[in-house]
Structure 1
Amino acid sequence: MEAKDLILHIITNVLTMIGILNPFGNVPLFMSLTQHQKPEIRKKIYNTVVLAGFGIVTGFTLVGNFFMTYLYKIGMNELRVAGGFILIVVALRNLLGFTSSSKGGSNEELTQDEAVKFAVTPLTFPILVGPGTISTVMIIRKEAGFIVTLGAIAITFGIIKFLFSISNIIDRVFGEVVLFIISRVLQIFIMSVGVKLMVTGLKHLFFS
């Protein structure tokens, strides 16, 4: 493959991954969910989200098919049901204010360890990296090869990292009240995505 074609393939798949990961929608959501945290804790959360997301996506690109098919003997539909359930629970807790055990969405400050846990679940998985992302990168891996897929993953998470790096500017532009409203509205959409994932998974499991 020539360099020009390689770059074109990478750019095409970057656009696909951006559409699936939706960083322009998720970054403001993460900001609103962490608005009561200290700057160093927010930075810790953002860095963990980027690293964990990159690791999960890259990991599934390399060995996802083996682990799902041969080791755990599960398919994408089981993953959809599990991921959808987590999204519904997280969105419901945030909407109703039941955040005592998942403190990232409350007014309580997180410790370093709690920040890492909150960044991994639910922020990285399943909000940012869900079954749709995993299935997409596995398909790209089969069709475009490992180099193109890895390049697309690196550029996509580089964009996410950049958006997090300017989060303070975004915060000043929108303000705390606007981010709070966005957060609550987006919880409805997150719950809806969770319901859709569960319904799709269950439909394919029992009626296909």
Structure 2
Amino acid sequence: MLQSVFDPTLFATSFMTLLVIQDPLGAVPIFLSLTGRQSPTERAASARQATWVSFWVILAFAVFGRYILKFLGISVPALQVAGGLLLLLVALELLTGKADESPDPDSVTANAALVPLGTPLLAGPGAIVAAMVAVETAGAAAAGWVSVTAAIIGTHLVVWLTLRFSLGLNRFMGESGIRILTRIFGLLLAAIAVQIMADGVFAFLDAWI
């Protein structure tokens, strides 16, 4: 009965993929640097705004992404292979530390919650492609849509909580602890990316054979 309205496997895969890509813990130092001159109330508002921007951007591509693919004549296996390659590049950035590079706070506009926090820091190309791949994998089944939507909502709930209490997390874990978790997330994302590419290649072979 549960499988008809909710797919736990698809939810878990989509949730973990988006969470690893968005890497809210890794975004904590950047968020604090961009909001360093804000009051606690303003910082809380920035966390909320950044989360909303990221949520709506990713949801928009998840809903309308299939129509974009249909218009461009792109197949689901092609999206899986391309998306897997992109996610693998993101994973390599997490593993090598290039994702730790933060923008200069002095060069950021007043409303940093929209750009670069909401997008492209949180709702970047990797997260957008991951959401589109998850929706295409889910197909037209209602359970798939419910699972992917729940994963997007759950991921952004974690993102909001992380940014909202970023100051305490940064003090508790320290930069070294956050950096270690970022490397672990990068390794997990690399494995997920390879699996997505493998599924796309097998789908291509099934279509040709």
Alignment of 1:5-24 (within 5 A): 12=6, 17=11, 20-22=14-16
**What amino acid is aligned across from residue 76 of structure 1 in structure 2?**
V
Pick the aligned partner of 1:112 from 108, 111, 114. 108
Which is further off, 19-28 or 81-90?
19-28
Q: Tell me the percent identity.
A: 17
Could you report, residue by residue, the CA deviation over 1:180-199 in whole angstroms, capped at 9, with x for unpaired residues? 11112222222222222222
Does residue 52 of structure 1 match 2:57?
Answer: no
- Give the alignment's TM-score, normalised by structure 1: 0.63
Alpha-carbon shift at residue 77 of structure 1 (Å): 1.6
Determine the C-alpha separation between the residues in 2 that align with 1:23 and 1:205: 23
Unaligned 5+ runs, structure 1:
1-8
Root-mean-square deviation (CA, aligned residues, Å) is: 4.3
**What amino acid is aligned across from residue 62 of structure 2 in structure 1?**
F
Unaligned 5+ runs, structure 2:
37-42
Partner of 1:91: 91
Could you report, residue by residue, the CA deviation over 1:55-114 in whole angstroms, capped at 9, with x for unpaired residues? 3324432x3332222x111122222222221222233234334x4xxxx52266364379
Alpha-carbon shift at residue 24 of structure 1 (Å): 9.7
Determine the C-alpha separation between the residues in 2 that align with 1:206 and 1:158: 36
The alignment of Structure 1 onto Structure 2 pairs a total of residues equal to 191
Alignment of 1:29-108 (within 5 A): 29-36=23-30, 38-40=33-35, 47-48=49-50, 50-61=52-63, 63-69=64-70, 71-97=71-97, 99=98, 104-106=99-101
Determine the C-alpha separation between the residues in 2 that align with 1:58 and 1:198: 24
- Give the alignment's TM-score, normalised by structure 2: 0.63
**What amino acid is aligned across from residue 177 of structure 1 in structure 2?**
S
Partner of 1:166: 165
Determine the C-alpha separation between the residues in 2 that align with 1:165 and 1:50: 13
